[in-house]
Structure 1
């Protein structure tokens, strides 16, 4: 430091008391910074801002071990050094600054995030009427310097009352209602109408619906229409297509005003600027005229095609993409088939009839004018938005997609105070991408759609005095059934119902029905999370996250700095690193070269080339796309053309292939739908009505054909419909009572004497379930709870005989052909066949006792200790008292499971009639299935991994010891009986 010069020299001597504590290097920096800050003060007593800046700047030194008391002593010395003395000690004669907007000597630019200054002993000078390009690597302080200019901190040194226009993409809509029409925005920002450059922009279009390019052009046009002294443009070419970039060049050339432009596009700066200010790596400002040899020397580093040269010069900028592991995935990972998309408030679709496919190692560049639909296309592929037709988008169920949107800084808005490590840890703390979950939410009108098309049981809304369908609370599982995608959903329970202990039953719903009720995004979120769960878990400790951040060029110190201290280019790298945490198979990037310097652009290009998965890139950087991509998607007014490696148009070929595949799928689904029974839609507003009298008569005849004469069945059906018109039943129990009363009126006495209603009860229950589930009658539920109603407490019909007799299951009401009875008996949730292997005849417990041939007996096992086994063989079983499902005898159809409970396994013959499945924790009958309220089932079966049993194993709980006979012990060595 030159100790003979002005304020810095004087302050240097004044602060000697803390020199030894700070150290020589730190002391020199602090003295220079303090002098620079003091010179900015208008009043010697007004030091609050100075102290705040110095405290922020000294934070890294305090963290490194400097005592906070030393900081207080340093700040205490400053007021003793008057500004008058600073002025008197200036040795240089002030020149005439009449042609300068700003001139600052010995400028030190501080930022609290690092221990080194961004600028140090730099000379900053802006002359009127010139256009300056501000260039330098990411993190060198370009945006920070412009922010200080915009805030007036430097302009006020030499001139008063100067106006400044600062244009940043991130601030275009700051404090603006996104629904504001463009015409109002122009009038508010420019103060006039008819701003040049916006002639093609619809006046009534909301600004929030503009593409990134048009949003940037709107801000530039409004700013340039103002009459300001200095214009600051931060990356103005980001998002602009070639036509908009040409417009901006012409506008700057014609203005004759003073500009400072931050841009990494040196070719653009060469075309519009008179001078270039280069921020060097040692914190100096170098001024070069455009066209000079010094300026030309900067161009190779920005346009060099040699990635190796850049990597050697700056190894920390290297970008490496993780290996996603493509094993087991098909060649095509995602596809759109005749896909269209229209925003809700627009008449014309943004995309029309788009067909494309994404393969395992594709390298695709997306090009087109601003507003052509490029970003919308990427949002469709990422499933952030949904198309007009649900079957026009297909993704493989295991594919993981990383999507970095154009407005990607919004990811970081709530994490600026934290570090990059903390951001990634918070984003993936739950095992998948929480920001993706936040984006994949049901549509705004989902509640209205659910009220009309939602799930049963419907709930009563006291506000509107009407029945309403339920919203989907959560998607739990997914399966393919008969070629159609189904999801197991948990229905939302209203607050008033929770107080009453009401639980809505989980049901399987077809994907098209969930879309109808506005819940498709929940299905997309489930698919994404399921795909993430198949990836090997990554530890979220700091070491692993820092190692991952190094792959995008982050140093260890950058990874642990506050995010707010990072430059825009460094934030871009952070967002990319976070997206790559899931090891994606497909990477979708929207304008990835915005904000990053030339070296980072080359590193990104090299990383994408070596990536093992597929890549889709939207960019106006044609040089970047030409080096990276092997095919191009060209969008024009919402229509897509696909160009191959040699420029050939492959659009028709791909569309023909995808349409043929979809036609085959639709043909298969049509066969499935045709074979399925007709299901009428039940709407909440129709609760209590008969939806189809013809279908009611058909169901009555199917279930009662072998019990009553045809005339009696028709009369019973008419009687039932009359009762329904009078009573307007809502719940399944009410509909069952109407059926029972109708049958009793028609032939109850004869029927009761010959067959007994006890024998008919499961038939009548199945009849009512058929009415409700097929939509013949409109009830608030589908009759699932009828297995525990009063009719089911009567004597039950035998499953196999009645199933064959009525052509359907008498337990659940499913229509069956004779050859389907055996298979259905094993999966019916009420069927005893699922309890174990059926035995032809059990061994009698005594010589005098025998069992009927038609008794249903099943083989089960019970593991226990030798002592308990001997007691059971002598005295029989005793019901457990504190079991998971209440009192009963716990056994299993699986010998392997029984072996876990003891060294002795008993083989049992169990006599069963009705069985209930308790398939989730909190099931309403979990502890009451043996009671009058629960229905007195013979056994309860709990499937594995249902959450009820902590071991994750199945459980069979038999109601009564009298239903169990011990057949012998199992030899655990070979599975044979003793």
Structure 2
């Protein structure tokens, strides 16, 4: 319940922060301090980007929920301890009053019961010991809480320091003005990469042409991120004059303004500005010394030489700043942040005021601003809404340097990529063109490889048969020896990898007579001054296929929670069929799983009554096959956890599936399987997604949620993307 309240109050808060607060609440330790929860929770959630009024309301609700419970438990414990003292409390034999009922009352005057003084027989020494013991426990609990807070804070700071040091180690200050004209192609032959004891690439060749944009594709867990990380850390031999940047971590949350954080990404510009400040200060000091009286000629001459040297260095610094157009840097940084969804006022906010998703956008803006020779992006579309994705697509089309981007969004790769780098079977294959070209060519290449492999196997068999037949025949022995040499020289071909098909299957529900769900002029907000979405009119049917699109923060997830009754409307009418079942897949669906259990054990707990074989067969229909269903879920990949979540949704037998960003952790094969399953599903589907192909395949209605209003869009998703960000609106910066 606390997790739900926190997410409602601060929907953009990181999951790590929410889990940390939940752990604190469960641990307790605030029996006699009603302000303890507010003092601990409020500053953390404000730093996470929450609004103060909503957080105040949340703290009151949490205090009522946990403080009263803790207070009640403390009273019960105290009563039990007092009842176990060696000597009983002697009270007059008054009718209707018992020792138990008296102890349970909070303010009982033991000196006056029905006007008669009663002598307490409590052993005062033991009472003092009991009270001291309770006080000692409370002090230890408070100390543990403080230690935990200090440990978490120090751990986070240490993690941030390590990230910063790693950035400096693998991204030294490089005067990129001196690398102009140098060859910035990358060609590395015959290298291996392993991760956690598993071979990722074996005897691979990496060939990257400068100025090309590579889409890196492959199944989940194949090692795409590992390859990019190895390049960024120069664990493979990338030339040192080539600057690399891998965007993976969100920026550090501190008091630095968003735009300043972006400007600081250009470490060479920052270095020049720092040198300018140092030289300007040194020149001022020298001029002050020159104005002093009584200087001898030798000192004057020395100061004059220092002054000339500093002026010469400063002139060179100014020239370099002019070469890199330093004076235009702030306007460029502001334009990039604006394209990624930051309003002018937000650009001046401290990074600690943003949620993790928005800090990732700042990290992306830093990379785009400093323009490394090789920019590596790891699923950048996962953290963006459709307007920001459209802007990024068009911006990257003008990217002048090398780009490597990992993405499962085919439309994004079609718009951005000039080449495809396919990782599979511990090797790299290269394809010219965008993803559509790759998809068409890959199958033809696979068939050609299969024909070549089968032809060679037949030839090998023919040679082997001849050798076996004539090896020991005196007349034919020389010919047999010749065939042996031919066989030994034949290259060893591997059969092409079989494509493992992934299947999803949602059970079809019984039909309900319409209307199954109607909303008439529905409005929702956390307070009257904080309306999130208003005047919703919606008629949901069993055959509805609706996509809800719009910018982040416009109320899309709030709309889904209204459908699932997680949020209650402030006004308006909602008519819901009494038998309607809705299954809700949230962006934080992994939190709904018990990762300490296997998928089979979790299903057995949630949906009892079947055999292990039946659970395994059911999970198999969602791609959780073999022993994977018996592994502890914390060892599964993000995509596998998503599949378990989908299996649990289907087991509920829903009439309507409500899916919030369902494709974020799925590879392309799983996305295809999900699309096919939803196409065959006989119930309603409502999705929030930024994947153009997924929306086109699954949905026949598009609703735009923007500025708190939900309106139907008559065009396609491509037309919506063009409407919100026309091609001419983005120019290279």
Give TM-score scaled by structure 2 length: 0.48
Counting helix residues as a fraction of each chain, which structure ranks higher? 2
**Which is higher, the Rg of structure 1 or of structure 2?**
1
Q: RCO greater where, 1 or 2, for CA within 8 Å and sep 6 or more?
A: 2
Give TM-score scaled by structure 1 length: 0.37
